[in-house]
């Protein structure tokens, strides 16, 4: 079992596993229902307060889990099967998270974005708009939980699409 957690130099302290385990387990269950990853899947968590989610995934039997906190200078860009973007509070954070996610995606990767914390925004519409800018298409939207599942548009298709607009 291994995991990596990259921290930024920001003033926000890292989250602790003592946070509400029931809430984290519930969030993990919702994510698993959306994308159904096998236990051998590489899961990257991106966002704030991700340690409780990381711990909940490890308790569920996922052994290839790592986290990247927003604002961190992550040296690795291992391709993940699932990238889970949690706890975005602004469009700037969403852009940072989508940039991190894009560097870790293949055509098979699924990206789960939680839009509930984008207070003051139409979270799902904001995610859709920003996702397109980073080369993602929307596969599924769960309006009840304010989550969206994205897939990376192949880079060749993006180049062709962008080239056709000129």
Domains of the chain: 2-7+16-164 (3.40.50.150)
pLDDT digits (tens, 9 = 90+) for 90-106: 889 999 999 999 999 99
Alpha carbons 148 and 142: distance in angstroms, whole number: 6
Beta strands in 72-122 (DSSP E): 82-86, 110-114
**Residue 97 contacts residue 85 (beta carbons within 8 Å):** yes
Residue of 8 and 32 predicted with greater confidence = 32
Mean pLDDT on 57-70: 91
pLDDT digits (tens, 9 = 90+) for 16-56: 444 468 888 999 999 999 999 999 999 999 998 899 999 99
> DSSP state, 76?
-
Residue 13 has pLDDT above 80, yes or no: no
């Amino acid at each position: 079992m291994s995991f990596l957690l990259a921290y930024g130099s920001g003033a926000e302290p890292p989250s602790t596993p003592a946070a509400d385990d029931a809430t984290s387990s519930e969030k993990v269950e919702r994510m698993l229902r959306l994308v159904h990853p096998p236990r051998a899947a590489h899961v990257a968590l991106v966002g704030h307060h991700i340690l409780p989610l990381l711990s909940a995934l490890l308790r569920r039997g996922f052994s290839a889990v790592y986290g990247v906190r927003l604002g961190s200078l992550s040296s690795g860009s291992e391709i993940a099967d699932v990238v889970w973007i949690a706890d975005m509070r602004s469009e700037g954070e969403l852009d940072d998270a989508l940039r991190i996610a894009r560097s870790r995606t293949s055509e098979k990767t699924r990206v789960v974005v939680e839009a509930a914390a984008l207070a003051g925004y139409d979270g799902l519409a904001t995610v859709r708009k920003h996702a397109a800018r980073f080369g993602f298409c929307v596969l599924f939207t769960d309006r009840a939980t304010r989550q969206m599942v994205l897939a990376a548009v192949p880079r060749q298709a993006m180049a062709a699409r962008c080239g056709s607009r000129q």
